Structure 1
């Protein structure tokens, strides 16, 4: 992945990534309408797995390029919003968690926060990402890391969890009589297409509005 140095780099990366992923889902939607009856079930199952993969990877990509963009601004800790201060101090925070009784790690964290807050720290998404799987809880955590508002997403959390479970069942080879039907596959594709657009807009607005600043 190329370095994201400017707001145009960020917008271009989000646009390119979303367009490629949405195009494949539009094609799957067309196949659901055009395939012969005995092939529909296979296309339904494939649509759910691929749509989930596009959703998961776009969210992680968008988070990574946004954090990369903020990192390129080379801002000091005391200039950053609270969520980005947490990202910047993640290594020290993790040291405190891992070595709770070690005073030296606790003091290093306090020193960074109080005495060295004018320093620039490296911001990395990989240090914050606990897992790739994207159920509602993981999505909520990513939004919190990025400082994004989640109120408009909350009514989708039940569907996000159901999509995650259904994808896991299919990916693990489960076959059942109540496998995804055309209506559900289309609902998944529609959710992911619009979800990618929604999350992309959230990231763009956060960057353009400089929500990463204190």
Structure 2
């Protein structure tokens, strides 16, 4: 199971994203005149799409992998217990009824020694706006430490997402060819970090309580 999970994760990150980014960079480098801006605009939009899709997809694949493992709730880190109980906890937060709160706690006690029940579909959402706050929230659900990513938060919020949103609203493009090349490398670095963190977490079983 883990080998299949790691293979699918690596294949998507290595072949699909790298191939499309190489093609987009080649198109920008070979473009002339006004076509340069058009290719860069398309490239930024695609780069953001890969950022959002891969983070969301990899996180959900990791959750699905843990669901198939079937570890007991009490053996997993609190973030996964919270993810498994998210819908129940949300209903508790919006209710002042003691019966609902007691039922929630009773459910938790009863389920502690049973296999974890994680959401089957779209456990993790990027909210179509994967800024640094949303990213930090996502890694919080799956137990990944966000510290090293913080050096790229300004890039994520302003250069990548901010430019993508500006393009969507018809604003003037402020990214030239050299900056686009460096942006591609910086975002690919982020995706490699995320891929490696999830792979390490799966292999080292860091989802388990110490």
State TM-score, norm by structure 2: 0.92
The residue that corresponds to 1:198 in the other structure is: 193
Equivalent residues of 2:52, 2:130 under 8 A apart: yes
CA shift, 1:115, in A, is: 4.0
- In structure 2, distance between residues paired with 1:200 and 1:167: 23
CA deviations 1:46-85 (Å, max 9, x no partner) are 1110000011100000001000000001112101111111
The residue that corresponds to 1:3 in the other structure is: none
The residue that corresponds to 1:169 in the other structure is: 166
Equivalent residues of 1:90, 1:127 under 8 A apart: no
CA shift, 1:30, in A, is: 1.6
- In structure 1, distance between residues paired with 2:128 and 2:34: 34
Matched residues, number = 206
Unaligned runs of 5+ in 1: 1-5
Q: In the alignment, does 2:144 pair up with 1:148? A: yes
**Which deviates the most, 125-134 or 32-41?**
125-134
The residue that corresponds to 1:107 in the other structure is: 102
Q: In the alignment, does 2:143 pair up with 1:183? A: no
Aligned partner (choices 135, 142, 153) of residue 131 of structure 2: 135
- In structure 1, distance between residues paired with 2:4 and 2:83: 21
Aligned to 2:20, the other structure's residue is in SS state helix
Unaligned runs of 5+ in 2: none
CA shift, 1:181, in A, is: 1.6
State TM-score, norm by structure 1: 0.90
- In structure 1, distance between residues paired with 2:148 and 2:126: 24
Distance 1:128 1:45, change over 3 A: closer
CA deviations 1:115-160 (Å, max 9, x no partner) are 4311223212624537232000000111111100111111110110
- In structure 2, distance between residues paired with 1:128 and 1:56: 11
Q: In the alignment, does 2:202 pair up with 1:207? A: yes
Aligned to 2:207, the other structure's residue is in SS state coil
Aligned partner (choices 80, 90, 93) of residue 84 of structure 1: 80
